[in-house]
Amino acid sequence: MELICPAGTPSSLRAAVDAGADGVYCGFRNETNARNFPGLNFSPEELAEGVAYAHRRGAKVLVAINTFPRAGALNLWFEAVDDAARAKADAIILCDIGLMAYAAETYPEMRLHVSVQAAAANPDAIRLYVDEFNAKRVVLPRVLSVPEIARITRATTCEVEVFVFGGLCVMAEGRCSLSSFATGLSPNMNGVCSPASHVTYEETGGSVVSRLGGFTINKFAPGEPAAYPTLCKGCFKTGLATGYIFEDPVSLDAATLLPGLKEAGVTALKIEGRQRSRAYIENVVRTFREAISAVNEGRAIPAGALQPMSEGQSNTLGAYRKTWR
């Protein structure tokens, strides 16, 4: 199984490659990618340099152009596809059907991967992208169990990539409007879920209160790890209970499930975290490199090694075992 790792900056790309990534995914410094945070991402020139660096060391670079184009601004997305092709990227990761058509017609030799933002979660949806746009790989949404993934791999000729570590989106990606409701900026079009410009932390009565777009998301006791405020992982009071109604603010860690994912026919394992530090990337990549080696050699997989790198310093298997509330 390939290990596909995040890179939010050129230095992170080099760190991921040097730590043992088979492939690195990154995006341009604009709203064409779903991690459009200030201080992150690549210029066309930086991408070309990063691709050359990775290729010299036997690694691939995948370019995420994984937001939906705005009406009247299509050229920005077309130019992103053009720039990725000029940089000799190994694949582009797309979610918009119109953009897929442009890429398939203009650069038929370029590998096309279906982004998780497309929310293609069944064989019929995947077959559409394969038949119409010659898609070579699909990144599955984080809402499927391992048996469901196995049924998909048996029913399609497309390579399958799944998330195994990092931030856990509990919604069907590409279809969530929670952050857009709170901030006016859509993660599906502007490339920012819970944009930093709309996040505040305030000390009140000895506690730390986090807010997003003016909405209170959580309250933390002194010394308690304060997770980044997203609506789907907020603490709410309802008629049933008070607590994390959708999902706890924790990270996905599916390292212990690698043997099952391999048996299910998964081609590639994806780590989330383009907004994370080089230290995060180096630690996570090296740990999963070792875990993959353990699976291939029939050894036990070390568990819990990455807990300090996790959101809230805690982990979950998410939907892989269908234990979500």
12-26, 188-202, 205-219, range with greatest mean pLDDT: 12-26
pLDDT band for position 318 (50/70/90)?
A: confident
What CATH number corresponds to the domain at position 26?
Answer: 3.20.20.70
| pLDDT at position 238 | 87
* 139 residue type, one letter: V
Domain check: are 141 and 227 in the same one?
A: no
83-92, 195-204, 271-280, 290-299, range with greatest mean pLDDT: 83-92
Check whether 221 has a pLDDT greater than 70: yes
Residue located via tokens 């119109």? 98
Q: What domain count does the chain have?
A: 2
Residue of 196 and 53 predicted with greater confidence: 53
Domain check: are 203 and 106 in the same one?
A: no
Domain check: are 148 and 259 in the same one?
A: yes
| Angstrom distances, CA of residue 256 to CA of 5, 24, 199, 260 | 18, 22, 34, 9
Tell me whether residue 269 is in a domain: yes
Query: Average of pLDDT values for 123-141?
Result: 97
Q: Give the structural domain span for 277.
A: 2-168+250-321
Domain check: are 40 and 72 in the same one?
A: yes
Check whether 324 has a pLDDT greater than 60: no
The domain boundary, picked from 220, 244, 268, lies at 244
Tell me whether residue 273 is in a domain: yes
SS3 at position 60: strand
| pLDDT at position 302 | 75
pLDDT band for position 171 (50/70/90)?
A: low
Domain check: are 44 and 129 in the same one?
A: yes
| Angstrom distances, CA of residue 290 to CA of 20, 192, 301 | 10, 32, 8
Predicted model pTM:
0.90
Query: Average of pLDDT values for 38-66?
Result: 97
Domain check: are 152 and 114 in the same one?
A: yes
Tell me whether residue 173 is in a domain: no
The domain boundary, picked from 195, 223, 244, lies at 244
3-state secondary structure 1-22: CEEEEECCCHHHHHHHHHHCCC
Domain check: are 228 and 310 in the same one?
A: no
- Averaged pLDDT of the chain: 90
Domain check: are 18 and 44 in the same one?
A: yes
Q: What is the pLDDT of residues 57-83, one digit of tens each?
A: 999 999 999 999 988 999 999 999 999
| pLDDT at position 312 | 60
Domain check: are 47 and 183 in the same one?
A: no
Domain check: are 279 and 314 in the same one?
A: yes
Tell me whether residue 139 is in a domain: yes
Check whether 174 has a pLDDT greater than 70: no
Check whether 123 has a pLDDT greater than 80: yes
Domain check: are 298 and 190 in the same one?
A: no
Domain check: are 286 and 316 in the same one?
A: yes
